[in-house]
Amino acid sequence: MFAGLFAGAASAADMRMPRKAPPPVAAPAAIWSGFYIGAMGGYATDNSDDFNGIDISAKGGFAGGTVGYNWQFGQWVLGLEGDAAWTGIKADANALGVFVEDRVRAWGTVRGRVGVAFDTVLLYATGGYAWMDNRIRIAVPALLVNISDSNYHHGWTAGAGVEWMFAPKWSFKAEYLYREFGSESYFGAPLFPGGIATGSIGFHSGQVGVNFHF
């Protein structure tokens, strides 16, 4: 009889104080919103194959800095980003004693980004404005001729990339960009009346970077 009473009392106590299961531990979500700065570098090749009839395809590396800002809405991430880089992109040709060198000394972009975040990974498309500082040099050693001219080219860029938040406030990104620049004229009057037009110039480039998020 007493055993039954104790059992009943214990059962009633269990009913009055139900045990709560511990809450599930959720993995912290990456917060992409905010300001960031970083460093980047990569390699580019010119998809043009001639300059005024001379085969002179440019290629080379580049390195510089990045600054940007993101807004995150659930999984969607919108952003603005600018970058600028010094480059070693160049090409040269030598025909009939005439030496031609084309060198991109610097370039940069101002782009929008639209992406989808999967926790610490962001997939995005990007596009916007592009510029480059270009110099062309022509030399004829036999005639002691060595002239050069520089111009800024303006155009557009588009591409896609992936960014990974590998540590709090730090991310690594890899992206592809296609840049196309409008034609500019070099060596105008009095050397060449009307100048020598380059035509449009396009580059394929791959680049990687590391960003610090504030």
Each residue of 96-147: pLDDT tens digit? 889 989 999 999 999 999 999 999 999 999 999 999 999 999 999 988 989 9
- Amino acid 176: pLDDT: 98
Residues contacting residue 16 through CB under 8 Å, at least 6 positions apart = none
Q: Which token pair is 85? A: 């880089």
Domain positions in the chain:
32-213
Cα end-to-end span (Å), the chain: 70
Q: Which fold would CATH assign to domain 32-213?
A: Porin (2.40.160)
11, pLDDT greater than 90: no
- Amino acid 117: pLDDT: 96
Nearest Cα residue to 113 out of 36, 204, 43: 36
pLDDT band at 10 (very low <50, low <70, confident <90, very high): very low
Condensed to tens digits (0 to 9), the pLDDT of residues 151-168 reads: 999 999 999 999 999 999
